[in-house]
Amino acid sequence: MPETLRLSADPDGIARAAALLRAGGLVAFPTETVYGLGGDAADDRAVARIFEAKGRPRFNPLIAHVADLAMAERLAVFDDWARAVAAAFWPGPLTLVLPLRADAGLSPLVTAELPTVAIRLPAHPVAQALLRAFGGPLAAPSANPSGKVSPTRAEHVVEGLSGRIEAVVDGGACAVGVESTILGLDGAPALLRPGGVPVEALEALLGAIATGGDAKKPNAPGQLASHYAPGAAVRLNAVAVHPGEVRLGFGPGAADLNLSPAGDLVQAAANLFHMLRQADALAGPGGTIAVAPVPEAGLGRAINDRLRRAAAPRG
Ligand code: TXA
Ligand code: MG
């Protein structure tokens, strides 16, 4: 395959990206959470190529990204609760898992042949423009090799997938910085992955939400124990630093890199994946990243979830 094109996030770049997608190509694009690796969700070959480019196991289903609620309702069955959640949180960093419609027209690879489909309506203007220009749902996992740190800048995508995908639309840094929250609504509401919408905000609408999923039988690969793994080892809740470690701080105090000197979780989420990459480069092969404690509330839940998986034993 020729070199991966870097397209600008202007009308010309969007039009070229949409044309590549219509031809079955793979195009990474910015969303407010992380960069997604997009392909035509109705095209078996394009979707198969997404799995191949990422080295992703086929049993891990993908999120279908849509331009609007009408496109979402052609893919899944929405009840009143689903409509209320969509009205409150879309567009935004929330993915809903809903019963798949028989006439959805998606490649079965998108859903890994499950009876449900994960759908997200992103808020990022470039993602929205691309979805409108393409005119149908785009399957889009995070645009990184499977198991590695997610991309929040176009250069992260190029580092991981250059030569394996047709193009990346460069929309700068992602504002939220952690992936969408995944809410199962095919039965009682279940939190399948903490993410950019704090679970507290969902509970204000839906009442208490159970945590779903099982690390050994993942229905969300974010639930595989080792994920988001940098090259270096990761030591969590590090209050003291050992000699030679790279210190990734949160809040005041000495650190090589600081997720948020002011202790702001929104800023910390936006910095998380970029700073994990920087810390990895500083630590070098065989090195260790010592991460300061991050409070387990609001976006801190998503941050700690990613950090725990980054620290988990590999393989
Ligand atoms: O913020 C995000 O969600 C980003 C951007 C690009 O939209 N996408 C993303 O995709 O994080 P990915 O593939 O890295 O994670 C998708 C998650 C996986 O954990 C997958 O197992 C879960 O969604 N998923 C997809 N379909 C599902 C289904 N039918 N039931 C349960 N989980 C599902
Ligand atoms: Mg991912």
Each residue of 135-155: pLDDT tens digit?
999 999 999 999 999 999 999
Res 229: pLDDT:
87
Can you say whether the dihedral through the CA atoms of 70, 75, 78, 84 is positive or negative? negative
Ligand 2 center–CA 254 separation, angstroms: 31
Give the ligand whose atoms come closest to the C-alpha of residue 47: 1
pLDDT tens, residue by residue, 247-293? 999 999 999 999 999 999 999 999 999 999 999 999 998 999 999 99
For residue 221, pLDDT over 80 is answered with no
For residue 218, pLDDT over 70 is answered with no
Nearest-atom number in ligand 1 for the CA of 143 is 6
* 142 or 213: which leads in pLDDT: 142
Nearest-atom number in ligand 1 for the CA of 122 is 7
* 308 or 225: which leads in pLDDT: 308
Give the ligand whose atoms come closest to the C-alpha of residue 219: 1
Residue of minimum CA distance from atom 21 in ligand 1: 220
- Tell me what the pLDDT averaged over the chain comes to: 94
* 225 or 240: which leads in pLDDT: 240
Nearest-atom number in ligand 1 for the CA of 56 is 13
pLDDT tens, residue by residue, 30-49? 999 999 999 999 999 999 99
Residue of minimum CA distance from atom 19 in ligand 1: 220
Nearest-atom number in ligand 1 for the CA of 120 is 7
3-class SS string, 46-95: HHHHHHHHHCCCCCCCCEEECCCHHHHHCCECCCHHHHHHHHHHCCCCEE
Angle, helix 125-134 to helix 11-22, in steps of 10 degrees: 50
> pLDDT exceeding 70 applies to what percent of the chain?
95
Which amino acids bring their CB within 6 angstroms of ligand 1?
Answer: 31, 33-34, 36, 60-63, 95, 97, 111, 114, 116-118, 120, 140-142, 179-180, 182, 192-193, 219-222
User: At 177, which amino acid appears?
Assistant: G
In this structure, the number of other CB atoms found within 10 A of the CB of residue 10 comes to 11
Residue of minimum CA distance from atom 3 in ligand 1: 180
pLDDT tens, residue by residue, 168-189? 999 999 999 999 999 999 999 9
List of E strands, 131-283? 138-139, 167-170, 181-184, 190-193, 210-211, 233-235, 246-249, 257-258
Res 216: pLDDT:
42
Res 227: pLDDT:
82
Ligand 2 center–CA 242 separation, angstroms: 31
pLDDT tens, residue by residue, 84-95? 999 999 999 999
Give the ligand whose atoms come closest to the C-alpha of residue 50: 1
For residue 315, pLDDT over 70 is answered with no
